[in-house]
C-alpha cells in the first residue's frame, strides 16, 4: 500500500502522476483539512475536493482546482444577491459542497462523507481526511488573523505573515484509518505540498508524526521548493515566517524527524550535494510537472527509489 500525505495543488499534480502508474486500489491519500471553510453555510474542503476530483479524472487542469468544464451560474446569482463571491465555486463543485454538508448535518463524519463522495465519483483509491476534528490554519498578518482561504484566495497572499497557528490541532485525533495506513504502508510519500499549511497541519495532528517515525516503510518527500522558491503559491513566504530557510534544506528541516529520502529538482543539484553531507539521501529528478507525462515520470522515479530502499532494507535485515 502506497500512502501519500498531501495538500491540493502540487499534491494533486503528484497524485495525478501516481494514478497513472499504479492501480488506484494501492493508494491511500491522507489529505490536509486545515484549509476547510464554511462558505454560504456549506462545508467546503478544498484539498479533499481537489484530490477527489483528480482521482476521478475531473479536476480542471487550467485552473488547478474545481471541476473541468464547470459553469458558474450560482456564483453569479449569489453576487447579484450581494453575497461574497471571492471564493469561486463552480456549479458542479457546489453540488459536492451541498451533498457533503447534507451528510454532515445528518451526523456522518468527514471520513464517511469523503468515502461516500469518492465512491459516487468512481474513485477507487482511499481518500482520508487527516482528522474528523476541526483543525483550522490561521494566518496572523498586520490586518489581523485570517483563515487560510482569506489569506490565500481573498487577499492573494499579499499580506506580510507574522505567524501561522493551527487552531484545534492539539485536541484533534487522526481520522480512523490514518495511523493504521501509515504503520502498514509499504511506502509513505509526502507530496510536493506546502510544508507549513498543507503537510504542517497533518503533522500537527497528535499521533501522525509519531507514526511516521515508527513505520517500517521508507518515507520519501518531493520538495515543493525548486531553485530557492516555491513553484507556485506562498510556501516561501510561510516558510520564512517560521524562520525556515526557503530551500531544500528548509524542507529537510521540517521533515527531519522521519524523512529517509528527499527528492529535489535537478536545478538544486548543488544544494543537494551539501544536504547529502548531513547524511540524508537526496535524489535529483525533474520535479516540475506541467504535463501528464512529467507527472507520471516523477511518480515512477519516486516509486523506483523507495522500492530500491525497501529491497536494500530487506537484504540487510532478512527477518
Ligand atoms: P494547496 O493546498 O493549494 O496549498 O496545495 P499544495 O500544498 O498541495 O501545493 C502547493 C505547493 O505545491 C507549493 O508550495 C508549490 O511550490 C508546489 N508545487 C506546485 N506545482 C509543483 C510542481 O510541479 N512541482 C513541485 N515540485 N512543486 C510544485
Q: What is the DSSP string of 248-284?
A: HHHHHHHHTTT-SEEEEEGGGHHHHHHHHTTT-EEEE
Per-residue pLDDT of the chain (319 residues; tens, 9 = 90+): 999 999 999 999 999 999 999 999 999 999 999 999 999 999 999 999 999 999 999 999 999 999 999 999 999 999 999 999 999 999 999 999 999 999 999 999 999 999 999 999 999 999 999 999 999 999 999 999 999 999 999 999 999 999 999 999 999 999 999 999 999 999 999 999 999 999 999 999 999 999 999 999 999 999 999 999 999 999 999 999 999 999 999 999 999 999 999 999 999 999 999 999 999 999 999 999 999 999 999 999 999 999 988 999 999 876 6
Q: Which residue has the cell 509499504?
A: 186
Burial class of residue 84 in the structure, from the number of CB atoms within 10 Å of its CB (0-12 exposed, 13-18 middle, 19+ buried): exposed
pLDDT at position 263 is 98
Determine the Cα angle at 269 with ends 264 and 273, to 5°.
Answer: 100
Q: Which three cell numbers stand for residue 81?
A: 444577491
What is d(CA 210, CA 74) in angstroms, rounded to the nearest whole number? Answer: 44
Q: From the CB of 195, is ligand 1 less than 6 Å away? A: no
Q: From the CB of 7, is ligand 1 less than 6 Å away? A: yes
Distance in Å, CA 310 to ligand 1 centroid: 27
Sketch the domain layout of the chain as residue ranges: 36-134
Q: Which of 129, 233, 241 to mutate to test the pocket of ligand 1 (most atoms within 8 A of CB)?
A: 233
Residue 77 CB coordination number (10 Å): 11
Q: From the CB of 221, is ligand 1 less than 6 Å away? A: no
Determine the Cα angle at 111 with ends 154 and 117, to 5°.
Answer: 75
CA nearest ligand 1 atom 28, residue: 10
Q: From the CB of 9, is ligand 1 less than 6 Å away? A: yes
pLDDT at position 213 is 98
Looking at CATH, the fold of the domain delimited by 36-134 is given as Helicase, Ruva Protein; domain 3 (1.10.8)
What is d(CA 74, CA 316) in angstroms, rounded to the nearest whole number? Answer: 60
Q: From the CB of 303, is ligand 1 less than 6 Å away? A: no
Distance in Å, CA 113 to ligand 1 centroid: 26
Where are the strands (E) in the chain, listed by range? 2-6, 27-31, 37-39, 42-44, 126-129, 136-141, 144-147, 163-167, 187-190, 219-222, 225-226, 229-230, 261-265, 281-285
Residue 64 CB coordination number (10 Å): 15
CA nearest ligand 1 atom 24, residue: 288
What is d(CA 219, CA 221) in angstroms, rounded to the nearest whole number? Answer: 7
pLDDT at position 318 is 65
Amino acid at each position: 500500500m502506497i500512502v501519500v500525505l498531501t495538500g491540493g495543488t502540487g499534491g494533486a499534480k503528484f497524485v495525478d502522476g501516481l494514478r497513472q502508474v499504479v492501480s488506484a486500489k494501492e493508494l491511500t491519500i491522507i489529505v490536509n483539512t486545515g484549509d476547510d471553510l464554511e462558505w454560504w453555510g456549506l462545508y467546503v474542503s478544498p484539498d479533499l475536493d481537489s484530490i477527489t476530483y483528480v482521482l476521478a479524472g475531473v479536476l480542471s487542469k487550467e485552473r488547478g482546482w474545481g471541476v473541468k468544464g464547470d459553469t458558474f451560474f450560482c456564483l453569479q446569482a449569489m453576487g447579484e444577491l450581494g453575497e461574497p463571491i471571492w471564493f469561486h465555486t463552480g456549479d458542479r463543485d457546489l453540488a459536492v459542497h451541498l451533498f457533503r454538508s447534507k451528510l454532515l448535518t445528518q451526523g456522518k463524519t468527514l471520513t464517511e462523507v469523503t468515502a461516500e463522495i469518492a465512491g459516487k465519483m468512481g474513485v477507487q483509491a482511499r481518500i482520508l481526511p487527516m482528522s474528523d476534528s476541526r483543525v483550522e490554519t490561521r494566518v496572523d498578518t498586520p490586518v489581523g488573523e485570517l483563515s487560510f482561504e482569506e489569506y490565500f484566495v481573498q487577499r492573494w497572499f499579499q499580506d506580510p505573515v507574522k505567524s501561522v497557528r493551527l487552531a484545534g490541532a492539539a485536541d484533534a485525533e487522526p481520522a480512523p484509518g490514518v495511523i493504521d495506513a501509515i504503520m502498514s504502508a509499504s511506502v509513505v510519500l509526502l507530496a510536493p505540498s506546502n510544508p507549513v499549511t498543507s503537510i504542517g497541519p497533518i503533522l500537527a495532528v497528535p499521533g501522525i508524526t509519531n507514526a511516521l517515525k515508527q513505520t517500517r516503510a521508507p518515507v520519501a518527500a518531493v520538495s515543493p521548493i525548486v531553485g530557492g522558491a516555491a513553484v507556485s503559491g506562498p510556501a516561501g513566504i510561510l516558510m520564512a515566517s517560521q524562520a525556515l530557510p526557503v530551500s531544500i534544506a528548509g524542507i529537510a528541516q521540517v521533515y527531519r524527524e522521519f524523512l529517509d529520502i528527499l527528492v529535489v529538482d535537478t536545478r538544486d543539484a548543488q544544494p543537494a550535494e551539501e544536504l547529502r553531507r548531513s547524511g540524508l539521501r537526496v535524489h535529483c529528478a525533474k520535479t516540475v510537472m506541467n504535463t501528464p507525462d512529467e507527472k507520471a515520470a516523477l511518480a515512477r522515479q519516486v516509486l523506483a527509489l523507495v522500492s530500491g530502499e525497501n529491497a536494500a532494507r530487506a537484504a540487510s535485515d532478512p527477518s
